[in-house]
Amino acid sequence: MHGERIAEFLLDIGAVKLSPTNPFTWTSGIRSPIYCDNRMIYSHPDAREVVVQALVSQVKSLHVAPDVVAGTATAAIGWAALVADRMHLPFVYVRAKAKEHGAKKRIEGDLKPEKHVAVIEDLISTGGSSISTALALREEGKATVSDVVAIFTYEFLSAREAAMEQKVALHPLTTITTLVQVAVGQNRITEKEAEMVRNFVDDPEHWA
């Protein structure tokens, strides 16, 4: 299962840190027992190769073959470019917000109308950036977007609901459930700490 292997890589290289008893504070203000920085993977060739192969495999298995690969700015630009290169497909990326100068657009690259676009995301938390990217591609790019392929997901209910509402399917390579199982198996955290992480996933807003 590539999910377990990727979870192992994330833990081994320090891309994911688990600290249930001394939580991290996210930029949103949420107190969390987990911190994930998938940019770390770029610096580790073996882990990077496994992730790129898994992303390509996931994109190839989508029910509709994409015409274009899009990355969310900024964290997933590199992943999407690597996937597009392996698949010999056009690549674009989508800004979090429109540029304030020039054409004032969110989509960077040459996206023709009526294309089917697969979105590559590094991390799904609330699903906000994934859904915003999909909507920008649909509205500004006149594209069909039905799938987001991501490296990791926190499995928050809010992300699943947002994706269902916009008719977008989420395809994570690995999940927080898998990561916690691997972490317990490697004695990185105790079963009691694992339960704290699971409680966080169930109610991130009020967990702390």
pTM of the shown model:
0.95
**DSSP strands (E only) in the chain:** 16-18, 24-25, 31-32, 34-36, 68-72, 91-94, 107-108, 116-124, 144-153, 169-175
Q: Rounded to 5 degrees, what are φ and ψ at 80? A: -65, -40
- pLDDT digits 0-9 by tens, 70-104: 999 999 999 999 999 999 999 999 999 887 777 77
Whether the pLDDT of residue 168 is over 70: the answer is: yes
Query: What digits encode the pLDDT tens for the residues 19-74?
Result: 999 999 998 889 999 999 999 999 999 999 999 999 999 999 999 999 999 999 99
Domains and CATH numbers, the chain: 2-202 (3.40.50.2020)
Residue 13: partners with Cβ closer than 8 Å, 6 or more residues away: 40, 41, 43, 44, 47
